[in-house]
């Protein structure tokens, strides 16, 4: 096969959707995928195929990497709250004229039985917790826990994959665990620690949605941090299948153009 017809893809990942996408196209001879992980998790789950770990050096470094590696398409399948890399991907794709595809898992939406307090930022979530909670379940990852370090009247159960970075609240317990989690286990965890409020980001997805079901069953209010504004893209989809279809169609067009 003419190698010029192969589409080289930089897959910005680290999410379960990115791993599914890499696995789905691993055997496709027209799609040459390199998955990039930020390297923030100590023992990441590696995707199928070629992988690189670590940052690029901002938008400028990513632009240079795309040019040097002759990348044809960038797929941003990062976490919905990974705003820095998404912004860098948008800038680099525009600078190089490289198509940018964004895979965004659908956000969670509350049911009539949910008790959500929606906030715009981590700092606003901390203010809400300080006002409402005595025993809070903090499930926002390890990087933003410091925003709650000033709160003295609330005890926190802090769950993350790796140990939190930065300052911690005076009264807390750290629980290191990786999802997916079962609803029954989440219910028992919240009961055992007498949780009266849960804090989470609206990351969406099924890996950790059991905690929302548990909070709903127990009547525990959820302080839900809304997603930041999304960076632009040439194509945006909420499913792996839709992105795979787009990539294969793009490869088909390139193949026809090369003849």
- Domain total in the chain: 2
Residues 208 and 123 in one domain: yes
- Looking at the structure, tell me whether residues 190 and 236 fall in a common domain: no
Q: List the domain range (segments joined by +) for residue 39.
A: 3-105+229-258
Question: 83 Cβ partners below 8 Å, 6+ apart?
Answer: 228, 231
Q: Is residue 110 part of a domain?
A: no
- Assess whether 120 and 221 both reside in one domain: yes
> Does one domain contain both 37 and 54?
yes
Coil vs helix vs strand at 160: strand
143 located within any domain: yes
Whole-Å CA distances, 150 to 125, 133, 142, 146, 168: 13, 14, 16, 8, 8
What is the DSSP-derived secondary structure letter of residue 26? T
The answer to the question of residue 27 being in a domain is yes
Residue 188 sits in the same domain as residue 128: yes
Q: What is the pLDDT of residues 133-165, one digit of tens each?
A: 999 999 998 889 999 999 999 999 999 999 998
Q: Is 55 part of a structural domain of the chain?
A: yes
**Which residue reads 């897959």 in tokens?**
11
* pLDDT number for residue 2: 45
Q: Identify the CATH number of the domain in which residue 95 sits.
A: 3.40.50.2300
Residue 187 in this model has a pLDDT that exceeds 50: yes
User: Are 134 and 112 within 8 A, CB to CB?
Assistant: no
Average pLDDT over residues 214-243: 94
């Amino acid at each position: 096969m003419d190698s010029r017809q192969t589409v080289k893809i930089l897959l910005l990942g680290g999410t379960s959707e990115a791993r599914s996408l890499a696995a789905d196209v691993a055997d496709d001879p027209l799609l040459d995928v390199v998955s990039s992980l930020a390297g923030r998790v100590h023992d990441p789950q590696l995707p199928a195929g070629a992988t690189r770990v670590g940052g690029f050096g901002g938008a400028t470094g990513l632009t240079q990497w795309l040019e040097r590696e002759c990348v044809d398409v960038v797929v941003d399948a990062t976490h919905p709250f990974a705003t820095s890399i998404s912004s860098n991907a948008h800038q680099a794709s525009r600078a190089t004229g490289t198509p940018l595809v964004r895979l965004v898992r659908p956000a969670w939406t509350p049911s009539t039985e949910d008790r959500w307090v929606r906030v715009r930022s981590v700092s606003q979530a901390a203010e809400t917790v300080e006002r409402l909670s005595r025993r809070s379940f903090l499930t926002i990852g390890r990087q933003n826990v410091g925003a709650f370090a000033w709160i003295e009247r609330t005890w926190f159960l802090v769950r993350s994959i790796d140990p939190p970075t930065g300052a911690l609240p005076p009264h807390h317990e750290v629980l290191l665990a990786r999802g997916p989690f079962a609803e029954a286990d989440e219910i028992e965890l919240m009961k055992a620690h007498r949780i009266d409020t849960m804090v989470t980001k609206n990351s969406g997805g099924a890996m950790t949605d059991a905690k929302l079901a548990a909070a709903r069953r127990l009547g525990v209010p959820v302080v839900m941090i809304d997603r930041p504004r999304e960076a632009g893209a040439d194509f945006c989809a909420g499913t792996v299948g839709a992105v795979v279809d787009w990539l294969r169609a793009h490869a088909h067009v390139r193949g026809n153009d090369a003849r």
